[in-house]
Amino acid sequence: MIRDALLIAGKDLRLELRSRVALNQVLPFALLVLVLFAFALDPDKSVLTQATPGLYWIAVLFSALLALQRSFAIEATDGNRDALRLSGLDPAGIFLGKVMAVSAQLLVLEALLGVGVAVLYTSRIEGWILLAVTSVVATASIAAAGTLYGVLAAGLRVRETLLPLLLLPVLAPVLIGSTRAFEAALNGSPSEGWPWVGLMSIFASLYVVAGIFGFGPLLEES
């Protein structure tokens, strides 16, 4: 299962390295969102600095939607879905591989977006450990739930509009948790942030387990 996962993750990441869709389209989109927030909220008042955690994670969520769409779009063409099914790879491995690949891309995006926030919103960055752990756990949550709901929407004509409707309400706890944890870290009171990391860890494990068991049947049909 782990070997299959690494195989799939490697394949997806190699595809990304060659096509650079996430780098050339998703990342600029995320930065654009940051700039749009500055247009919408007066940058001279301290709103931007105060709202940095929320704005940051909203930008990450929207970018994650694009990354997930991309992750399933590469399987949709040329009967790749069938090829994947016939490959004999463990469905749980395919699921984990997809989660890993999406997570890796999102983590890179988050790091660059973090630099963007620090520069554009002149936010002071503190509490590095909590920030890093929150990012990893939240990313795993987004990727796991996103991959499970992504395959639910995959292959349908309405997938672009369906995925946000299905996924965003589900990810509400992750948005709440990651934002609160970031706030706690930036305010210099990291002890308030750790319970949220715990909550998101539970969320992530739940969806990893659900994906491991649910991915097989979903991949078989259609």
Residues 6+ apart with CB under 8 A from 182: 52, 53, 56, 57, 131, 134, 193
Instruction: Using the minimum distance from each CB to another protein, give the nearer residue, 121 or 215.
Output: 215
Q: Measured from the CB of residue 4, what is the shortest distance to another protein in angstroms?
A: 21
**Residue 42 CB: number of other CB atoms within 10 A?**
10
Q: Would you say 88 or 169 has its CB closer to another protein? A: 169
Q: Which is nearer to another protein, 37 or 207 (CB)?
A: 207
Q: State the nearest-atom distance from the C-beta of 43 to another protein, in Å.
A: 25
Q: How far apart are CA 136 and CA 139, in angstroms?
A: 5
Q: Do the beta carbons of residue 8 and residue 97 sit within 8 Å?
A: yes
The residue (of 6 and 176) whose beta carbon lies closer to another protein is 176
CB of 212 to another protein, least distance (A): 13
Contact positions toward another protein, by CB under 8 A?
A: 148, 152, 156-158, 162, 165-166, 169-170, 172-173, 176-177, 180, 192, 195, 199, 202-203, 206, 210, 214, 217-218, 221-222
Minimum distance between the CB of residue 16 and another protein, rounded to whole angstroms? Answer: 27
Query: Which residues are within 8 A (CB) of 191 and not within 5 positions of it... i.e. 6 or more apart?
Result: 184
| Whole-angstrom distance, CA of residue 162 vs CA of residue 95 | 20
